[in-house]
Homo-oligomer: A and B are copies of this chain.
């Protein structure tokens, strides 16, 4: 038998206590968790089943698969209806479920286990808990950042004359995987899809995508319309590399721009503006700052530089300039014009002020920052300038 809980007792208690404090604030006396990302947050592993979090005290772990897990609080089940048997003495009047994620029919089935209880949405509580990372989580994100940085430093050596965007991306994928990248690109919800990140060359960056990413790209096929589309890398093109930084279960998000030959002056100026925006936002971003204020500052800097029409896309624009990152790529807080998020110590935030310059491609950088009491520190430290490929 294998012990289910992979977190240390201290770490497990810390994460639990944060959730239970937020549950008390929201008057949710119990939560039944089933989303893989939240199960991983609470145990350090993914299993198929449910975690019952009471208002106080230890959780119960209802496990369907794998068959070999055991330990304190583990209850083996074949179907969710068996959860009720373990809770008969203590069915709470209100039960929180992950209603922003749980399919409607699954939510109905689980609600039927608690026939006398009011069902409420626990997604905001869990999202809020996960938006403030623990030291252990920050350590894992740092590890991912270091390994992703090693890969990005290799990119210039992977370029060969005559390559397409896809061919370069495949070589980056290969070195990432050999460096230990897990590949899986975790995104909360079903609507966004991406395979191992995005390499954008030239005007392909201006192809709009259905997905809510900062940048687009036509993709290789209309079934996955994002990213590389087989474009040849030509002189004067920028090559934006934004690939998967999931090395530890916790992701970093980093973008760097390369080029074949020089890019034009407008693109160089936009790239410099991206670096300046990152620096300014990182300096502004202190605990208690408003997320939307960071967005407005970024937009204003782009406008003052006369680059507004290229900012966050050209044919189609993204509606944000940064986002929380951790187990998933789309965590809280969101750095967007109507965001109501307030930045807090322990947030991990990717800032990605990018530009699309017609005839050149996408330029700009993205870094992942941890919010400390002293401000935002970058965890993704590859060189920020545009690096030209040797020909």
Chain A residues proximal to chain B, CB less than 8 Å: 6, 35-36, 40, 44-49, 64-68, 97, 99-107, 121, 123, 166-167, 169-171, 173-174, 177-178, 180, 182-184, 186, 189-191, 193-196, 208-212, 216, 220-225, 248-249, 315-316, 327
* A-B CB proximity, top 6 nearest: A223-B249, A183-B195, A66-B208, A45-B222, A99-B104, A48-B210
With both beta carbons as reference points, the residue of chain B lying nearest to A167 in the complex is identified as B178
Which B residues lie within 8 Å of A216 (CB)? 66
Interface centre among A35, A191, A195, A223 (most CB of B within 10 A): A223
A99 cross-chain contacts in B, Cβ below 8 A: 103-105
CB distance from A61 to the nearest CB of B (A): 12
Asked whether A316 and B223 contact (CB < 8 A) given A48-B210, A103-B101, A121-B105, the answer is: no
A35 and B190 contacting across the interface, CB-CB below 8 Å = yes
Residues of B within 8 A of A170 (CB): 174, 177-178
Shortest Cβ distance from A189 into B: residue: B103
A35 — which chain B residues lie within 8 A by C-beta? 190
Which of B106, B173, B194, B248 has a CB less than 8 Å from the CB of A221? Answer: B248
Residues B65 and A210 in contact, CB atoms below 8 Å apart: yes
Instruction: Contacts A104-B103, A224-B184 given; indicate if A208 touches B65 (C-beta within 8 A).
Output: yes
Once A104-B97, A177-B170 are accepted as A-B contacts, the answer to whether A65 and B222 lie under 8 Å apart by CB is no
Q: Do B210 and A183 touch across chains, with their CB atoms under 8 A apart?
A: no
Residue of B nearest to A140 (CB): B223
Do residues B223 and A182 form an inter-chain contact, with CB atoms below 8 A? yes
List the B side residues contacting A44 at CB < 8 Å: 222
Q: Contact: B167 with A65, CB < 8 Å?
A: no
- Quick check: A220 and B102 within 8 Å, CB to CB? no
Does A225 contact B45, Cβ atoms closer than 8 Å?
yes
Neighbouring B residues of A182 by C-beta, 8 Å? 195, 220-221, 223-224
